[in-house]
Each structure stands twice: as C-alpha cells, then as structure tokens.
Homo-oligomer: A and B are copies of this chain.
Amino acid sequence: MTKIKENSTRNENKQLTAGWCPVSYVMNKLGGYWKPIILFQLIEGPKRYSELRKAIPTITEKMLIQHLKQLQEDNLVLRTATAVVPPHVTYKLTQAGINLTPVMEAMANWAINNRENN
C-alpha cells in the first residue's frame, strides 16, 4: 500500500536476512498480526470476504484486504471473483498455502507444550 523506502537500512536488512535465513523468509510471509489467523480460517476451507470478516470480528477491513493481497502476492492464497452484484469473492489456500499447514501445526504444538511450563 504505502510505498516502502527501498534504500532504508531497515528494508535492506529485511531482504538480506530473508535471503540467508529460510526461517526469516517464512517469517516475512507469515508476518503481520493477522496473517496466521487468516490462514487458519482458510485451512478449514474456502471462505468469502464477508465470512472472513465475521470470523475475525476484531480485524478492520483495511487490514483484512491488505493482508489478503499480500498473501496473494506471496502465492499462499487464491482469490476467485464472480461478476455479480452484489459481488461474490472467495479466498482459498493455494498448494503452497496447503503445504504450510503442517508447519503451522508444528508451531502450534510447540506453543502448547511451551506454554504449559510457564
């Protein structure tokens, strides 16, 4: 949305770390407060835009589409629109997105085990 300053140290370092470190690479794709939650919703199956909104009541519309767009660019989510009025748009995981689910499950399992001993 807002243009990023490509020559800022910050952005350069981001690129750099994503280049070296496969974990950073993944973190960049899953980064953002809402992305994991959106993906989680879509694991259950394709959902309409409005269904996602209802499923995640505390997200704003701006954040929702912004993240959906990034997820599309990163080839994790596929958007399908039907040209009707009112519009009908569904989002679903791509194969790469589906492949990510075991990774997310591994993260979730670690979280559960780690949370217990606190």
Chain A residues near B (Cβ < 8 Å): 13-14, 16-17, 20-27, 30-31, 33-34, 36-37, 39-40, 58, 75, 96, 99-100, 102-104, 106-108, 110-115, 117-118
Provide the residues of chain B in CB contact with A117, threshold 8 Å: 96
The winner among A13, A26, A99 for most chain B CB atoms within 10 A is A26
Contact of A114 among B14, B16, B96, B104 (CB under 8 A): B96
Instruction: Name A's interface SS.
Output: helix
When the two chains form their complex, are residues A110 and B103 in contact, meaning their CB atoms are under 8 A apart?
yes
Provide the residues of chain B in CB contact with A58, threshold 8 Å: 13, 16
* Nearest CB in chain B: distance from A105 CB, A: 9
